[in-house]
Chain A
Amino acid sequence: EAGVAQSPRYKIIEKRQSVAFWCNPISGHATLYWYQQILGQGPKLLIQFQNNGVVDDSQLPKDRFSAERLKGVDSTLKIQPAKLEDSAVYLCASSARFSGGNNEQFFGPGTRLTVL
């Protein structure tokens, strides 16, 4: 079974530029998560999808971040415009179903973003 795929793996941009990340979850997984992990910290949830609907985006900075999962399969996360403090690893994870805390999440390799 293929794992969660993410691209690109690394991205360097200048502040005020735009950037997009792509995630393809494990086939058949209904729930998809985007996390931001700043160096030295644990992951922080940005947005959670159940199929193509948003379950939780309370911690997504909506003035500059957006995400979509139009067909309920792959997803894109966009930052426009980027700030220096957006430098982090962006992790995508998926789980087979949404059942609160009892669902095992499978993580992608992450995209390391550096904003100069």
Chain B
Amino acid sequence: KNEVEQSPQNLTAQEGEFITINCSYSVGISALHWLQQHPGGGIVSLFMLSSGKKKHGRLIATINIQEKHSSLHITASHPRDSAVYICAVWDNYGQNFVFGPGTRLSVLP
């Protein structure tokens, strides 16, 4: 079983739809990061969470430490949101980052 899992693996949405990407993890963590990777490889950090909820523009990230689960929501999705979204956690025991496999999102106009 992978330490960090994401669902769905692939997601296609129509412009304007509300999107949810889920991340679950099995290790003890001190922080969870959501990253965005565009075609061509560049990765951008979206959020860093240790509890609760954060919002930035149309993006919202939540985390439930007890359930070891986090969600990334995109409101009013746009084709420019098309990218791979990666969940990464800081493993307290291993003292390193563990990355999920990513969710590939395509938003159609």
Residues of A within 8 A of B (CB): 33, 37, 40-45, 48, 56, 89, 91, 93, 100-102, 104-110, 112
Which one of B4, B40, B92, B101 contacts A109 once the chains associate, using CB atoms below 8 Å?
B40
**Closest B residue by C-beta to A107:** B43
Chain B interface residue count, CB cutoff 8 Å, equals: 27
Main secondary structure, interface of A, reads strand
User: In the complex, A37 Cα to B33 Cα: how many Å?
Assistant: 17
Give A24 Cβ to nearest chain B Cβ, in Å: 16
Residues of B within 8 A of A (CB): 4, 29-33, 35, 40-45, 48, 50, 86, 88-90, 92, 95-97, 99-102
- Whether the Cβ atoms of B99 and A43 lie closer than 8 Å is yes
**Closest A residue by C-beta to B43:** A107
Which one of B33, B42, B86, B92 contacts A110 once the chains associate, using CB atoms below 8 Å?
B42
